[in-house]
Amino acid sequence: MMPVSRYLCIFINVGLEDLAKTSGNNTFAGDQKFTGGVSLPANTAYKGIGLQAWFDYKQDKDDTLTALSGKDVAGLLSYLGLTSAAKTDAKNTFTQKQTFSGSVALPSDTTLNGIGLESLFDSKLDASNALGTGQNWVDVTASRTAGVTYTNTTTRPICVSIPETADGQRGLYVGGVLTAFARGADSDSTLFAIVPPGAQYIFSGAFSSWAELR
């Protein structure tokens, strides 16, 4: 029987025989905390798996560092499987709902369901179709009668302005909805409304003049 080392005896006496040996194998059964640097030998094992063999296995299987080395943004996105979800220098095609954080800059050739957004917005925001553009106020007093229904037969909205002079209640209706109203004796008011294309409008009461922007 070999004599027990005096250093081992010290560890045994203070209960550190499996916690702080400086030579041979150490086995830890719980959480351990070390201060300063820790040097792990090549045969270090974690839960029975050799760390050196594990790292070698992972590197051999994933080749992560090799795969990422020297790649540009497009290459990194391709490696990460993001080639169709986050490209920065080519067209992206999304087939389902996407959520982005921060600002998103859309190029002029962006399409929505096959329709170019630029041309779509241009057609919707055509200044030539704005209310008042290419339209003029017209005095239509001679051709208008209270209590008669009229229709906006143009392809654009028109405005109706009627200074009324009667006592009691006066109203201007568009599409059956009361849009302007006045009530009182010896009071002068101007009733105003915007009439969409194809909508009907009617004025009830007495008026001194009738003008339309059309």
Q: Give Dmax (Cα) for the chain.
A: 131
* 208 is a domain residue: yes
Task: Give the residue with greater pLDDT, 82 vs 166.
Answer: 166
How high is the mean pLDDT of the chain?
75
* Same domain, residue pair 208 and 141: yes
* 26 is a domain residue: no
* 70 is a domain residue: yes
H or E stretch covering 204: strand 200-204
Average pLDDT over residues 102-131: 68
With 0.85 as the threshold, say if the pTM is over it: no
* 52 is a domain residue: yes
- pLDDT for the residue numbered 187: 72
CATH number for position 147: 2.60.120
Q: In what order do the strands lie in the sheet with 189-195?
A: 137-139, 211-213, 158-164, 189-195
Q: What whole-number distance in Å separates Cα of residue 147 and Cα of residue 150? A: 10
* 113 is a domain residue: no
pLDDT greater than 80 at residue 18: no
Q: pLDDT band at 164, cuts 50/70/90? A: confident
C-beta neighbour count of 172 within 10 angstroms = 25
Q: How many domains does the chain have?
A: 2
Angle at 53 between CA 51 and CA 59, to 5 degrees: 100
Domain region containing 68: 46-82
* 185 is a domain residue: yes
* 126 is a domain residue: no
Q: pLDDT band at 183, cuts 50/70/90? A: confident
